[in-house]
Structure 1
Amino acid sequence: MTRRSLVLASTPFVLALAFFANISLGPGSISPAGAIGALFHMEADSYEGAVVLYQRLPRALIAIYVGATMAVSGAVLQGLVRNPLASPSTLGMNAGATVFVVAGAYLFDFGMTAQGMAALVGALFGFFACVAIARLAGGSADPRGLALILSGALVSILFIGIANAFLLSDPARRMDFLGWVTGNINHVYGDRLYAFWWIGAAALVLLAALSRSLTLILLGHEKAASAGVRVDLVSNLAIGATVLASGSAVAICGPIGFVGLVVPHILRPLVGSNLSALLPACMVTGASVCLFADLCARAAFHPYVLHTGVLMDLLGGLVFIVIVRRFYLSGSARGLA
């Protein structure tokens, strides 16, 4: 069995382990047998059943959704942008979705459904703003897409600052979004998951259908076109799918940053750059990473519960340093510049 086959075969078992650890462990740990019994027998009248069904299961499902959509989006964006730092959090999508949701709620009193639509529009607006600034800065002459990443950082800082300004303007409503804006996987957002899960699912299906064409595009636009790939159409559809996936994830629990940056770098050396294999591996591994991160956020600082987005930002910041050193500060990277 090849290394890639071994990794692909093992990721579902890791996901199952992460899922049952998430619903079993933590403050007031529940035995695996009790957690399984609560899932399959729906004994909500018992204490263990109520905790599993109404608190831990919604959190676990949200973590799976966010991890899968963000990791797959990051893998696609890194390939299309041809930059190892590309992800929804570094290209303005998460920040755009965040500020549109907060602004819509504060200015127009958007309900849950309208907030979801605002998140999708905001993710698209954030990405377009990032691209526009990069082009104004001469990003078309940058083969590594560094201008696009710097533009994404600028857009994200601006949009998050605007979102924070809205939060400070109305202390009475601040608590409604204070946890959400930092990325808060929480069972209270289960209704949001129920309302928006199909958006990310449709985006993942579309990206899976485009995976072969996207892999050919990674080899070069001319080679892809000679193989019959409609490069512009496939690229635009893929970017649109990542916007839908990341925007829907932000609409549910706020911006969970860097899982889209980290997971593709973990898997690419193991399964290769072929997106037909990389995307399923990213989907399952991203879900596992978010499940373990959520478990750590709940249990590591007991009796306090840390927001999962804060923990992921810490992890992503460390990986961000490693990636910059490897791709931009190493001797080989300077030689290619």
Structure 2
Amino acid sequence: MRTAIELAHNGPATGVNPRVGCVILDAAGATIAEGWHRGVGTPHAEVDALSKLGEGEAAGATAVVTLEPCNHWGHTGPCSEALIEAGVARVVYAATDPGHSSSGGAARLREAGVEVIGGVLADEVEAFLGDWLTAARLGRPYITVKWASSLDGRAAADDGTSTWITGAAARQRVHEQREASDAIVVGTGTVLADDPSLTARGDAGELLRTQPTPVVVGMRAVPKDAAVFRHPNPVIFEGTHDVHDVVADLHQRGFRRVYVEGGPTLASAFIEAGLVDEYAIYLAPTLLGGSKVAIGEIGVGTISEQRLLCIHSIEQLGADLFIRAAPERQHPEQSQREGN
């Protein structure tokens, strides 16, 4: 299974489909084929592995796959049927497919007399596929909200200047996160104030191989010479302030990983709407004071309504701190904090 996980890493991190790996073993436990999914419209991992075997070679074999084999017709046929037709005797998988249309492969395999074992290294695969699995379960993209601020929570000086609060290492990490996203979302206020390109770039300023689609939310007009129009991908304009409508449209367009980068008004709207799955917070060792806070009104009127977070990691990038956090739905210290 760990080999299958390694194979899955070869697939694209963005797009509608999950990264899946598959290893096929013969009756003696020796590997006879490996495969992984290469993106929309290409063979799924199981079919990719089977394609490397001759007729009858998979009979009696064991297929080890990171995600429950699909059971539906999409761009390709159901992997469950491909495994049955190949004569595979046993299927071992890690995570259960949560898709409404694609799930059910394990049941179909059992129905055909194939031995099925699920849940092997499920925690590792759940962590690896966390963003895709969340999107599949919620029926909306996995949403990361990012901001960079001073230690006192300011995103800019009082005159509006903000270039640069954080250092080069932190800014490069942001570009890597952009590259791993399907879409990067900002408000019209950010476009008008900062004229960002919204591209993912390397250390030397070169464009990285994968670029997120730029999305601009709001009602104000954007100048025709704005940098966003020079992005490699066509910009999407969401002429609304309703973030629920924005999220629904992005999901319909096939985006599964969305990176919300600015500014404070838009970030606060996503937080208040309960649409944040992960926070990417960059803190610089500086103090700015003033009114330009990184986050504004998020619907917290009293301490009992606070938005508790679970910190997943803290990393030092140059002089800055990068904090990965997620909403804590049932924080063990919540009752104690509310009572203090």
Q: TM-score range by the shorter chain?
A: under 0.3
Structure 2 length-normalised TM = 0.23
Greater RCO (CA < 8 Å, at least 6 residues apart): 1
Structure with bigger helix share is 1
Who wins on radius of gyration, i.e. which is larger?
Answer: 2
Structure 1 length-normalised TM = 0.23
